[in-house]
Amino acid sequence: MSDQLALLDTPPPPHAVPLTRRQIRRAQQLSNALYACGDDVYFWCEELGYKMFERTLPKNIPAVLKDGYIILSRGMSQIMQVIAIAHEIFHHEFHGAAIAFRELTPTARNLNESQADSFAVLVAEPSVLKYDTIQQFYTESELPDEMKPIREALLYLIKV
């Protein structure tokens, strides 16, 4: 049995929050749409009904979604663009009816951000089952290092 499958019986690391079935299905749909677009993030955004362009944004803000436009910070790698876009789409689709972000309590804001991060990582890396071990995943995945523990945690939560 691979290390990955053996780890499924242990508690998940505390880096991700559970997603609903609807959120997981939507992440899979977005990932499939990205694949169908040949990993072209501009075409992917257009297919999803968003216009995308790059601008210089403050250092701690990789992307903004406003009025149907996804504005990405310049110079991001393709995988970071996917993560940033999926993160913003999650907020739009699942938190859009919520009270304005700045009016949320810090706990609610952190939960919203954690949900969006988990969703975005699932879109960017829809399955880790292609790796024989967790160590291989950490070595070979194109996810940024800070996102890998989130994806590993999702393995325990949704088993993909």
Q: What is the pLDDT of residues 95-129, one digit of tens each?
A: 875 545 556 677 777 788 889 999 999 999 988 87
CB 30 within 8 A of CB 48: yes
Collect all residues with Cβ–Cβ distance below 8 Å to 51 and sequence separation of at least 6: 45, 68, 69, 70
Q: What is the pTM of this model?
A: 0.83
pLDDT at 98: 54
The rounded distance, in Å, linking the Cα atoms of 37 and 43 is 6
pLDDT at 81: 95
Q: What is the mean pLDDT of residues 121-147?
A: 89
* pLDDT above 60 (res 160): no
- The top-scoring range by mean pLDDT among 23-37, 57-71, 110-124 is 23-37
Q: Which amino acid is at 94?
A: F
Query: What burial letters (b/e) apply to 33-42, b meaning 16+ CB within 10 Å?
Result: ebeebeeebb
The rounded distance, in Å, linking the Cα atoms of 106 and 112 is 10
- In degrees, to the nearest 5, what angle opens at C-alpha 45 toward C-alphas 39 and 46? 115
Q: Which amino acid is at 143?
A: L
CB 157 within 8 A of CB 24: no
* pLDDT above 50 (res 29): yes
Residue 118 tokens read as: 């988990």
